[in-house]
Structure 1
Amino acid sequence: MITAVDHVQLAAPPGSEDRLRAYYVDVLAMSELPKPHPLAARGGCWFQSGTAQVHLGVEEDFRPTRKAHPGLRVTGIEHYAARLRAHGAPVQWDENLPGYRRFYSYDPVGNRLEFLEPLGAA
């Protein structure tokens, strides 16, 4: 039986770690996790907020995910969207999921991210 998602892995181009840190830590307010020593040599970086983890691994022939994406549940979605906009990140609202407020954005290497909050949770 599956009980939870441990992490989501996204790809990133070589040498993008500093841009990823600036976005995932400074903009999304996630904490960077140290990668285990054997994996650190591969590049990339890992981030966490609450129990949600996003791992970004280096891919030589990188192409950003435009449709596939992690869905990241947030609290105070209006404030979260304003935070992203204030940092220059795009925010595209989507009202097509009953029971939720949600929007899409993109990380600095072009990976699509979904942010959502159940209605009535604010």
Structure 2
Amino acid sequence: MRLRSLQHVSTPFTPGRQNVIRTFYGGLLGLTEITPPASLAHLDLVWYVAGPGLELHFFPGETDPRAARHFCLDVDDLDEARRQLETAGFGPYDDTPIHNRPRFFCRDPIGNLIEFTSIQGPYQS
């Protein structure tokens, strides 16, 4: 497995504060908001383009760092990444599927949540 890039950072916000997120990141910082995948539409997410190939994701939820806060790594061989992590004793697990974004999650040795993906195309198609 070879790491291609950091794909996104995901962080929580207090539920119901999407407008505060949009005012700061979209209005003040000028980031372009993008529509999350249809399979995640029910989650009230707010996503932005944060640079070439990099996204910033906000989700309503716990502000406990061990909750869903995570970063995502785009790798060249997702199956090999899963095998390496399983062999090393880390328990990768699947979550809600996203079109063109096969993925899984695991925790690092100090408890950080990491998403691994292998981007196959835009998730909007």
Shorter-chain TM-score tier? 0.3 to 0.5
TM-score by length of 1: 0.48
TM-score by length of 2: 0.47
Higher relative contact order (CA 8 A, sep 6+): 2
